[in-house]
Structure 1
Amino acid sequence: MSLSSDIEHAPIPFDQERGEEAAALFADASAQVQQVIAGMAGSASYLHRLILREHDWLSAHLSATPDEAFADALTLGPVTSIAEMGVALRRAKRRVALLCAYCDLSGIWPVMTVTNRLTEFADFAVEQGLRALLADEVRRNKVPGASEADLDEACGMVVLAMGKMGAGELNYSSDIDLIVLFDDDRYADADVQEARAAFVRVTKKLMKLLSDVTADGYVFRTDLRLRPDPSVTPVCLSITAAERYYESVGRTWERAAYIKARPCAGAKQAGWAFLASMAPFVYRKHLDFAAIEDAHNMIRAIRSHKGLAGPITIPGHDMKLGRGGIREIEFFVQTRQLICGGRDTSLRGRETLQSLEALVRAGWLKPDVADTLAEAYRAHRQTEHLVQMMDDAQTHKLPTGDEGLARLAALAGWEDRAAYERELRNRLEAVHKITEPDAATPAQATTDKAEVFLNSGSVKDTVERWYALPATRSDRARRLFERLRPDILGRLSDAADPDDALRQFDAFLTRLPAGVQVFSLLDANRALLDLLVEICAAAPRLARYLGRNSGVFDAVLARDFFGPLPDAAAMERELTAWLDPLSDYETVLDTVRRWNKEVRFRVGVHLLRGLASHGEAGGAFADIADVSLRALLPHVIADFARKHGAPPGRGIAIVGMGKLGTREMTATSDLDLIMIYDAQGEAESNGPKPLSSGAYYARLTRALTGAITVPTAEGALYEVDMRLRPSGRQGPVAVSLPGFVSYQQSEAWTWEHLALCRGRVLAGEDALAADVRAAIRDVLLAPHDAGKVAEDVRAMRQRLQDAHGKADADPWEVKQGQGRLLDIDLLVQMGVLLNGLGAAPIGPDAIDRLEGCGWLTPSQATHLFRAQQLMLHVQAVARVAVEGRFHPDHAGDGLNAVLTRETGCDDIPTLERRLAEYARDAAQVIAERLRAP
């Protein structure tokens, strides 16, 4: 490849005579080269001037590759003073500008290679100028404690490239946006002021070196106004001061600006460290959909200020800020990066086109939308370059007159100006349609349905009340809600029970403490409205939960939300990634709660939509609890150990009981726990405030239960029940391993052994966990008196019957009563205990195992299993959907439809009859089995 051999096309000379004169300077070059030169000079005044001044240099490099020519353009030669540096950089700028224009207009370089080369030169110019000016300050002893060796790290001074320079996307006549900082940690407190003064001088001189227009031209126009509070801060400020500013008063536009930030010169390592510290400011923990509204307000304000708010017309249209322009594409990408980058680091790219690809990979953009925007972005940037090549003006506006537009079309290589303008308009309109949400209005059908619904019954009164709620209190929230209202009412009117759906949406909105974030989210992704209305129609409990915890909506927008539920290992990896950067204990507690809520919400939605069975959901709910406890335990121990020392001996193990142990949890299950420790003979801990081993583990257990149950800013994690520990409420909250073994072998009641059948070790040091498992297994596999066990089970069953006898008459009471879940559980536990099946915790296969060993007949196993599974399904859906007891008469049509669909019943009466029938059959099996233990 060379500058003369790989030409693909050429511009057309608008001024033929001027083009021919320029081409004559390249008499020894090929006809293709002369055609390119003629088109450049004949259609762009600035390029004509460049060719006249640098034609000898370009001619000498026509046989070189473009990269070789670019490298030579950056060769400054001997430079012995700042003045000579200025001359050399300006000469390099002319040559780079000529080379980039030639390669751009001939098709040798694609447009984004041109922007990269322009950025490389800007980096080079800033680095060269900074080093020369700093060296002068150091020679004059103006930088405290600095020597020539410190110049490699610029004495702690770093220049951040912002905007298009940071992204490697400079335009042809671009100015450069810079922020200049210095690492104040390198200097003693007494020297910081002197260092700052030196760095301010260097910065001012650097700006003058780059931007002053001399007989040799200029290097780059420079802009330092993106620094913190530019009206009152020095042109170079400390990293510490910058961090404080962004922590306290940083705004959305500054967050967007830092997406593209990059150290381009000086102490780059310090610059990267600063940008790493800025990540939490730029990329928020929660999906920040309000950023979209901020961005559009920003672009509307710019357009209004610059008079660009009108329709798309080609003469004078601003390719950067006008409708459908470059800024719309960049804002479209950047707002989605702001929204999602806190959760997905793959979306934190600087380059626009690569970021579009990342958004597609992450499932945030459809490929065809990204392709349209990417194609338009390249073409827009090409047009922007053509406009700037004409006069080297930092403008983005298309010419207004006929001659200017004709020159532009010729420079672009179009003979048909009208066709060129049509192509421009079509592209601008396509971008605007995608990127501006205000460009679309709700479908007329949706609006009509909303109006019909609004005028029915008491709907109007309810809707009017919404405008007095906290969620709609601000003007911004009201504007967003007004935009959403037709879609909301239209979707509610389509629900199976519109009135009930309206009531539940009202409950959701009433509990919403603020509306801007949620309304922004729904406005940006209308499909979420479908899910919200579906939840309101089928799951009032979940709707109310969303009102209190709207942040869990973040999870819905993850690309895998509706995919298969993750297993425990995947959950553990995800939560670990959330927690690894954290050191503050309270933040850890909040983060575990936030993660836990999001994943539990996902499981609940899967259950409602039939994407997960009740068994899969129960296992997932248990995995979430397991992972949360395992994540919390080391943090609780570390926090506790700061005062009382490390745990004596081998530490503590957590045993999950009940539904947690059998992995059959529901959305509202609490945690049944037993805490077992092994001090290995150590009498006390060795911290600043030592405790006896028993007291240590008792207080550590209370600290752990507090970490689980105490409401933080993110609420409580779970309720905890420890009544299944040895001696129940009268026993210590944590029991030693020898004490646990002794109690279970000599003191435990039958019901405690039955309960232990469901025990599962969740967390603890590996060797201790193995010993606890072995201790449980030994207790369960020891011989048990079948007669006594049966007698005790019958007594327990009778006590439950006495307490909950009325439940038998209600087929929708699936937990209490004869033949219901607790009744079945008792029998299963009895069978496991008497048949030596306690080597592993009870699981979903327990009834099959009892049939396999002959303790249940196939018919008995079938009756028990089908009753258990149907009741577990009803219970699982009901616990997600309603608060308190479920009854179809009090549930909406939406929830009843979910239940009948998921249980395979034609209607609610069929399901009711089946529940009653299965309970009777199960009760009969249980009675038979208890008569013959």
Structure 2
Amino acid sequence: MSVTVISDDRAAALARAEAHAPFLKSAAAAFPDIAKTFVEQGGEAAVAQALALEGGSVGERLRRRRHALALAVALADLSGERPLEWVTATLSDFADAAMDEAIRTAMLERVPDEEPRGLAILALGKLGSGELNYSSDVDLVLLFDPETLPRRPRDEPGEAAVRYGRRFIELMQQRTHDGYVARVDMRLRPSPEVTPIVLPADAAISYYESSALPWERAAFIRARAAAGDVALGQSFLAEISPFIWRRALDFGAIQEIRDISLRIRDHYAQGQAFGPGYDLKRGRGGIREAEFFTQVQQLIHGGREPALRAPATLDALDELASAGRLEPGVAKAIGDAYRALRTAEHRIQMIDDRQEHRLPSDAQALDEVARLDGYRNGAELIEALAPHVEAVGTQFDGLVSEREERLSNDPDILRAELGAMGFIDVEEACRRVGDWRSGRARSLRSPPARAAFEEMLPTLMRAVAAGPEPIRALNRFSDIVDKLSSGVNLYRLLAARPPLADLVALILAHAPPLAEQLGRRPTLLDGLIDESSFAPPPDAVALAERFLKVVRDEPFDLALDHIRRMVGERRFALGVQLLAAHRDPIVIAEGYSDLAEAAIVALAEGVESEFARTHGKVAGGELVVLGLGRLGGRALTHASDLDLIYLFDAPPGVQSDGAKSLPATDYFNRLASRINAALATPTAAGPLYDVDTRLRPQGAQGMLAVSLEAFEAYQRTEAWTWEHMALCRARPLTGSDSARTKVRDLVRAILQTATDPAKILADAASMRDEMARHKPPAGPLDIKLGPGGLVDLEFAVHTLQLTHRIGLDPRLEVALEALVDAGLIDDGADPDLRLLSRMLVVLRLVGSKGMEPAEQSQALVASLCGHEDWSSLLAAVDAARQRIASRWAKVKGANDVG
């Protein structure tokens, strides 16, 4: 039954082709056996039969195959038997094979005794990406190597290459009653108006390294060595890869690519309005804008993420979405639109085998295209395409800046403009603009930088004026301007993206740590260009996989800097997510913690591998990094340091097996020291983390790395109560599953050891009093160290954990749940913990050293903590602190009661 249904679909497709497409009707008459094979066996069989056609000269044979293939592919497409990707790949594969045969023929005709080599055919455009359409030109660049190109004795290499190229084009383009093989377009080669059709490879490399235009970068995203001397072509593409894929964002090049599309919109204005006559390729929301939209995302991120360099549009969209660089919904919308628009374009081209991209203006002709595609009429086709065109147009519009505003150079007019923007201290704002325009800052000395800055300035000034403390924000922006060596890309970026300027103003006004990061490294803004920057933060495992790939693929010193940059970018992005209210502060704290954990995992492996080169490995030995404090409890803030203990497990008396062998104790201590240095020592890529290892046995006087046996012995016989309290938040971060389980079980066993509850209570109360004397709160709003703050709640929780051996989990919220279930603490403790934790995370980013935010930032802090205004937040915090103080008093007073 199913076979009959499929056969009926094929017959219906053939019938539609013959009824509505004159070209397909004539092709079916010329190749009835192809049509018959399709109906009976399907598209694959019909394509194979078309490609097997023989007879006549090379040109005749290729033309017949292309003519028959056009019929077979069209029928498989019209029947729905094969998707767009199959159609374009099949057409592209044929073009590759045909070009290869044509260039071999051209060379062998002149030098029959030589093996063709030394001439490469690069495919660009849709052929380069394997997406050739039904009736398309092939965009080619031909290159030759004068050292290996075969030629007659009196021929110069350049002359011989051009002869081969001309004959190749003739074989491809010549038309007979069988049609043609492919139309060849050579205009994408460097300076096509003055250069020969075949270029020396070395000269082409020099051009692309020194003189190429930005749009040529986008063109080469889809470049591929398709025929001829493929190895030569691949070598050339590898050589110019840095020109195409730059690690630093070149926003000027991206803007120029967008401008090209806008000029195309203007040039083809008559095909912009959607409806009959609409240009599917060049119109607003058309195929080219879908491609350019995708390519811009690739140019932004592909320099640092090679996985995003997929040449085919649909593949690139999938990769961008998978990497979190494009919202999945946006990627799907562009991909669906691309399929729909390309399919409609194919239907138009099937009518007469013409390179046409417009929907017919004539109603009857439009109906013919629609019916070929299975619609009842043209109106149905228009209705089906409309949402796809709008989806692409909207996304592409979002990339384009059409702002031409400038601030005046006349001081009086400038004052009026700044006042109209909302600046209160107009004189100071005016003075700041004048200072920038003086060219004193290095980043504003070149004409392109000044032009980009002037284009950006109105956007930034308007955003700053709308925020709190605009003059303070301008001063911080001045720090960035002064520290930049070249600001042209940043200024272009802010001009093109007004929402990003708003975000920068928010950072400058409210978040000194982020503003300082930005001042040290303005390229951090590169990561905020698209909405993927605000995607949920990856967990520790996913981040560690990314970092480990860097460690395993790059030399260690480069990997170390690379990971530092990646961590810096992620920390900055998490801070921006917090500031822009995209995530709950508690989720951000977990993100900070997962980021630190991933960095520790990756750097530990990298250091261990490097260390093993000299000292080998310890058989049966393993180092485990134990996280404590906020890291152990997955509650880091932007400013948190890392509390770490290094533990090792090794058989007694064992030594490492390297060239410079070490006893296990020395081995793991030196290894731990190097891991510590990798985490804590500043490099050119910036600081990573402050590391505190004083919680290890014997503190700063003890060995950095301690054996599990020594650690257990110390914890059971010598450790103070405060050390066991610290151990309540211990979590193994590195090592094999078995090693981490062993450490986890050991920590739990130590904490469950029977101990005198009265001593624990007395010690805890004494320690808290001692801490209050020697480490007083930084101010009234210190919700960590102040009375009823987070430290009091932590003391209460850890004391209950140790005295009752319940809720022994490093995460306070998990521990609280168990303590509540056991009736040891009230169920309001968790909401109080969350409120104060949110406030701590926010104030570490927004507050001053005294944890007191500026008056203009108070509303923002309140909002981020889930309250309508500052007064309601303070009231909630005061109430929570009173309850926490009461809980701690109750816990520490249990000893007196007992």
Q: Compute the TM-score of the two structures, normalised by the length of structure 2.
A: 0.75
Tell me the equivalent position of 2:851.
Answer: 886
Measured in 1, the distance between the counterparts of 2:271 and 2:576 equals 49
In the alignment, is the contact (CA less than 8 A) between 1:288 and 1:340 conserved in 2? no
Counterpart of 1:528 in structure 2 is: 500
Q: Which amino acid in structure 2 is aligned with residue 623 of structure 1?
A: D
Q: Is the 8 A contact 2:765 2:892 kept in 1?
A: no
Separation in 2, partners of 1:97, 1:871: 69
Find the aligned partners of 1:371 and 1:442 in 2 and give their Cα distance: 34
Q: Note the C-alpha offset of 1:670.
A: 0.8
**What do the CA deviations read for 1:523-559 (whole angstroms, capped 9, x no partner)?**
5544334433343444333233334344444554565
Describe the superposition over 1:291-350 as per-residue Cα deviations: whole angstroms up to 9, x where unpaired. Answer: 4124246679x98xxxx98784689x9998999997666434422332245678886554
* Partner Cα separation in structure 1 for residue 635 and residue 313 of structure 2: 47
For 1:174, the equivalent position in structure 2 comes to 137
Alignment-mate amino acid for residue 672 of structure 2: T
Q: Pick from 112, 117, 123 the counterpart of residue 96 of structure 2.
A: 123
Q: Helix, strand or coil: the match of 2:706? A: strand
* Alpha-carbon distance in 1 for matches of 2:348, 2:726: 75
Superposed, 1:158-237 pairs within 5 Å as 159-167=121-129, 168-169=131-132, 172=135, 174=137, 176-179=139-142, 193=147, 206-212=164-170
Residue deviations 1:75-110 (CA, integer Å, cap 9, x gap)? 66356xxxx4345446767888999999999x9999
1:709-724 aligned at under 5 Å gives the runs: 709-724=680-695
Matched, 1:293 2:293: no
CA contact (8 A) 2:448 2:488 kept: yes
After superposition, what is the alpha-carbon deviation per residue over 1:585-631, rounded to whole angstroms, capped at 9, x for unaligned? 23332343344334434443444455544443333322222222122
Q: What letter matches 1:660 in structure 2?
A: L
Cα shift readout 1:129-175 (whole Å, capped 9, x = no counterpart): 345578889984x56xxxxxxxxxx8898644222322332574735
* 1:453–1:742 CA distance, 2 compared to 1 (3 A): same
Structure 1 contact 888–908 (Cα < 8 Å) conserved: no
- Verify the 8 A CA contact 2:681 2:687 in the aligned structure 1: yes
Distance across 1 between alignment mates of 2:446 and 2:170: 48
Shift of 1:930: 5.8
Query: 741, 753, 758: which is aligned to 1:782?
Result: 753
Whole-Å Cα distance in 1 between the matches of residues 592 and 321 of structure 2? 31
Structure 1 counterpart of 2:797, one-letter code: V
Report what 2:292 is aligned to. Answer: 331
Change over 3 Å in CA distance of 1:159–1:923 after alignment to 2: same
Task: Measure the CA separation in 1 of the matches of 2:496 and 2:53.
Answer: 51
The verdict on how the C-alpha distance between 1:196 and 1:473 changes in structure 2, with shifts beyond 3 A counting, is farther
Shift of 1:258: 3.1
Compute the displacement of 1:710 (Å).
2.7
Q: Please state how far the C-alpha of 1:794 moved relative to its aligned partner.
A: 4.0
- The answer to whether the aligner puts 1:618 opposite 2:586 as a matched pair is no
Alignment of 1:413-562 (within 5 A): 435=396, 440-441=402-403, 452-453=420-421, 456-457=424-425, 458-467=428-437, 468=439, 469-470=441-442, 472-495=444-467, 498=470, 502=474, 514-556=486-528, 561-562=533-534
Distance 1:545 1:785 in 2: 49
Counterparts of 1:286 and 1:694 in 2: how far apart (Å)?
44
In the alignment, which residue of structure 1 is the partner of 2:716? 745
Q: In the TM superposition, what are the counterparts of 1:802-881 in structure 2 within 5 Å?
A: 802-805=773-776, 810-837=779-806, 840-841=809-810, 843-847=812-816, 849-850=818-819, 856=824, 858=826, 862=828, 868-881=833-846
Q: What amino acid sits opposite 1:122 in the alignment?
A: A
Q: Distance in 1 between matches of 2:601 and 2:672?
A: 14
Once the two structures are superposed, what CA deviation does each residue of 1:848-904 show, in whole Å capped at 9, x if it has no partner?
5455556x564xx85x66664443332111112245332145663453443664498
Counterparts in 2 of 1:749 and 1:891: CA distance versus 1, 3 Å: farther
Unaligned runs of 5+ in 1: 10-29, 41-50, 144-153, 183-191, 399-404
Aligned to 1:898: 863
Conservation of the 8 A alpha-carbon contact between 2:644 and 2:692? yes
Which residue is equivalent to 1:597?
A: 568
Which amino acid in structure 2 is aligned with residue 491 of structure 1?
Answer: A
| Partner Cα separation in structure 2 for residue 71 and residue 772 of structure 1 | 63
Change (3 A) 1:243 1:849: farther
**Structure 2 letter corresponding to 1:620:** G
**Deviation string for 1:751-799 (max 9, x for gaps)?**
3233222222111133333333333333322232344444433443333
- Residue type of the partner of 1:880? L
Question: SS at the partner of 1:884?
Answer: coil
Contact 1:166/1:261, CA 8 A, preserved across alignment: yes
Which residue of the other structure, out of 222, 238, 242, is the alignment partner of 1:260?
Answer: 222
Q: Does 1:77 align with 2:60?
A: no
Letter in 1 for 2:292: F
Per mean C-alpha deviation after superposition, the further-off stretch among 697-706 and 461-470 is 461-470
CA apart distance, 1:645 = 1.1
Residue 727 of structure 1, CA deviation: 1.4
Q: Which moved more, 1:678-687 or 1:527-536?
A: 527-536
Q: Counterparts of 1:97 and 1:452 in 2: how far apart (Å)?
A: 63
Q: Distance in 1 between matches of 2:790 and 2:423?
A: 46
- Structure 2: 5+ residue stretches without partners: 1-8, 273-277, 370-377, 407-413
Q: Distance in 2 between matches of 1:865 and 1:104?
A: 60
Q: CA deviation at 1:734?
A: 1.2
Q: How many residue pairs are counted as aligned between the two chains? A: 841
Structure 2 letter corresponding to 1:363: E
Residues 1:563 and 1:323: Cα distance change in structure 2 (over 3 Å): closer
Shift of 1:642: 0.9
Paired residues of 1:811 and 1:916 also in contact (CA < 8 A)? no
**Which amino acid in 2 is paired with 1:338?**
L
TM-score w.r.t. length of structure 1? 0.72
Using the TM superposition, give the Cα deviation of residue 177 of structure 1 relative to its aligned residue in structure 2, in angstroms.
0.1
Selected match of 2:555 from 584, 595, 602: 584
Residue 681 of structure 1 aligns with which residue? 652
Could you tell me how far apart the structure 2 residues matched to 1:890 and 1:137 are? Answer: 83
Q: Mark the CA change 1:830 to 1:229 in structure 2 (over 3 Å): closer, same or farther.
A: farther
The residue matched to 2:54 in structure 1 has which SS? coil
Tell me how far apart the structure 1 counterparts of residues 401 and 349 of structure 2 sit (CA, whole Å): 24
State the identity as a percent. Answer: 30
CA contact (8 A) 1:905 1:911 kept: no
Q: Distance in 2 between matches of 1:100 and 1:659?
A: 62
Q: Distance in 1 between matches of 2:484 and 2:574?
A: 22
Q: Does 1:363 align with 2:327?
A: yes
The C-alpha deviation readout for 1:441-473, integer Å capped at 9, x for no partner, is 4899xx999761266422222334444445555
Q: How does 1:21-60 map to 2 (within 5 A)?
A: 36=22, 57=30
Question: Does structure 1 retain, via aligned residues, the 8 Å contact 2:574–2:588?
Answer: yes
- Higher gyration radius (CA): 1
Give the RMSD, CA atoms, in angstroms: 5.7
Distance (whole Å) between structure 1 residues aligned to residue 622 and residue 144 of structure 2: 49
| CA-to-aligned-CA distance 1:658-684 (integer Å, 9 cap, x gap) | 211222221111111111112312443
Do 2:510 and 2:857's aligned partners in 1 also have CA atoms closer than 8 Å? yes
Letter in 2 for 1:875: L
Aligned AA (2:165): M
- Cα distance in 2, alignment partners of residues 800 and 284 from structure 1: 52
